Amino acid sequence: MTDRAELAEQIRSACLQAASAAYEQAGISGLCGEGRWKLAVQALKTLDLAPLLETSTPETRRPATPKPEARRGSMQRIEPLRRLSSEHHAGLVIARRARELARNAPDAREAAWADLRQRFADELEPHFKLEERGLLPALLAAGEGVLVERTLAEHLRMRAMIDAGGPEDLGAFAEALADHIRFEEKELFETAQRVLGTEALERIQALHDREAAPVCRT
């Protein structure tokens, strides 16, 4: 195999592994099939190939990972919840990046924490407030107080971590955010799709239509 062919195979393998890992992580977090594919594509967009290009040798070649297959699991998101679920995809990207920096780049934690605080203000806080103004009151009225209380408690905990925490909390916040998204996708949203009536869903959709979506960075 020529050097160019070997490099192409290594790049292909790295891309497949990145997409597969992101797809599986999104499934663990409870995202539906569409959301899992979006996160896999996002992983490809952010994959750093520079180290591979710099150190490309036959010894570094790794076997290709099979293309992930779509699986059935969570319900397909209905329109009033689609925006919130889409914002969860961006939240998982934030959590994954924070986790990786906390583990592998201790010298970059201070800058990463500053970036995380800004992204919390720009993306996560508006998402929390949107849920608290629309979805959560509707679920409370439908008798799902336990789920609402847990959601609000987790929102409060993450706000407190951002307000009072520091670079040393980067990994802990990443885990808290990923766990929260997993809970909302697997339990909160699934329950909402089962118990909320047409009128409640229309009110949620009207609120979402009035509120501009946050600009999510990649």
Regarding pTM above 0.75, the answer is no
Residue 173 and residue 78: Cα distance in Å, rounded?
A: 29
CA-wise closest residue to 29 among 177, 158, 192: 177
The tens-digit pLDDT sequence of the chain (218 residues) is 456 666 666 676 667 666 666 666 656 555 655 665 666 676 666 666 666 565 555 444 444 444 444 344 456 788 889 989 999 999 999 999 999 999 888 889 999 999 999 999 999 999 999 999 999 999 999 999 999 999 999 999 999 999 999 999 999 999 999 999 999 999 999 999 999 999 999 999 999 988 866 655 55
Find how far residue 191's CA is from the centre of its chain. 20
pLDDT of residue 60: 46
Query: Contact at 8 Å (CB) between 79 and 205?
Result: yes
pLDDT of residue 68: 44
Domain formed by 78-218, architecture: Up-down Bundle (1.20)
Residue appearing with tokens 């047409």: 198
Return all residues near 11 (Cβ < 8 A) that are at least 6 apart: 49, 52
pLDDT of residue 4: 66
pLDDT of residue 79: 86
- Tell me how long the chain is: 218
Residue 130 and residue 145: Cα distance in Å, rounded?
A: 18
Domain residue ranges of the chain, discontinuous segments joined by +: 1-56, 78-218
Residue 205 and residue 135: Cα distance in Å, rounded?
A: 10
pLDDT of residue 64: 47
pLDDT of residue 28: 53
CA distances from 146 to 31, 119, 151 (A): 22, 29, 9
Residue appearing with tokens 């994959």: 47
What spatial distance separates the first Cα and last Cα of the chain, rounded to whole Å? 36
Checking phi first, is residue 143 left (phi over 0); if not, alpha (psi -120 to 50) or beta?
Answer: left
- Condensed to tens digits (0 to 9), the pLDDT of residues 84-114 reads 999 999 999 999 999 999 988 888 999 999 9
Residue 40 and residue 22: Cα distance in Å, rounded?
A: 5
In eight-state DSSP terms, residue 186 is: I
pLDDT of residue 105: 86
pLDDT of residue 76: 79
Query: Contact at 8 Å (CB) between 135 and 185?
Result: no
Residue 101 and residue 93: Cα distance in Å, rounded?
A: 12
Query: Contact at 8 Å (CB) between 48 and 97?
Result: no
Return all residues near 106 (Cβ < 8 A) that are at least 6 apart: none
Find how far residue 200's CA is from the centre of its chain. 26
